[in-house]
Amino acid sequence: MSRLSIAIPSKGRLKDNAEAWLTASGFKLRQKGGGRGYSAELKGLPDAEVMLLSAREIAEGLISGQLHVGITGEDLLHDLAGAFDRDVSVMRRLGFGGADVIVAVPAAWLDVETMTDLEAAGALFRERHGRRMRVATKYLKLTRQFFSEKSVGEYRLIESPGATEAAPAAGTAEVIVDITTTGATLKANDLKILQDGVILKSEASLTGSLSADWSAEAMSTLRIFLDGVEATAAAKTFSRLETSNPIPEDKMSDFGLTLLSDCVALCPSNKASEVARSLTHAGIETVAIATVNQVFSSDNAVFENFVKKVSRSA
């Protein structure tokens, strides 16, 4: 793979949010073949191969090295990766697609509130029914690891092909491990989350593959992409100050300003109003505060850290 391959979710809210995030970073998405096309291009990044895939396909592609970069849920990456830190590297968490992987039991189980309670309930269940209680889930690896950490062994896993939250009511399992955003679906199915039953807090992440074939061309395109991504992220922390007359040099260090010209500077957003007032009190007649869309820098720590990880895994 000489060209950089990028995969984004192909449908739903995750796709919409990913597309909006890409546009804000300076890379507007255009699908090929209309709304049903599964390839695309990013304006501003012509040397990248862009694909629209399911979140699970993206996670699998990153882990196997078939994809360079992708946007997918951390829950899938943790569940599917053989060795997470060796297979992939999360470059940036994106602030959308948030959900928790949780352990839930029937609300009627009044004496089961913790994982320790669940182990005791499992032993009692086995004694009464002659079999282990069943745990339905799509997250087989995460469930095994978490249950082992919590010293829960009185269970057997049932892989869930469909709506996991319906398994207890349908009689196919007693416990579930599933992903939830609000918990409303769990409540609708008379389930409750155990007090210490949050396995993973997941969200959509921009993730790079450590096992992909990284050519010099792919790395060069990745740098262009991450420059845009990090410029947008940096802009959220800065405001632009425009003054009617030059900013005194002593005020630059006092307020932590980055001078762009005699009358224009970048200021930490959380201090912008305070700094503007102080500058007017120092003799500057007018100070305007403006939002910033992107702030580019000659350094890109996210890119450099990823290059180091790829080098170590080679």
Residues 153 and 163 occupy one common structural domain = yes
pLDDT tens figures, 264-284: 999 999 999 999 999 999 889
What domain range includes position 271? 237-314
80, two tokens: 């599917």
Beta-carbon count within 10 A of 107 CB = 14
- Of 183, 202, 221, which residue sits at a domain end? 202
> CA 206: distance to chain centroid?
6
The per-residue pLDDT for range 74-85, each reduced to its tens digit, is 999 999 998 999
Tell me the whole-structure pTM to 2 decimals. Answer: 0.87
CATH of the domain at 226: 3.40.190.10
Same domain flag for 150 and 176: yes
* Token pair of 170 as six digits: 């349908």
Q: What is the mean pLDDT of the chain?
A: 94
Q: How confident is the model at residue 37 (pLDDT cuts 50, 70, 90)?
A: low
Q: How many domains, in total, are found in the chain?
A: 3
**Sheet bearing 88-93, strands edge to edge:** 29-32, 39-42, 48-53, 4-9, 69-73, 204-209, 88-93
What does the alpha-carbon distance between residue 132 and residue 139 come to, in Å, rounded to a whole number?
19
pLDDT exceeds cutoff 60 at 301 = yes
Q: What integer pLDDT is reported at residue 47 of this predicted model?
A: 93
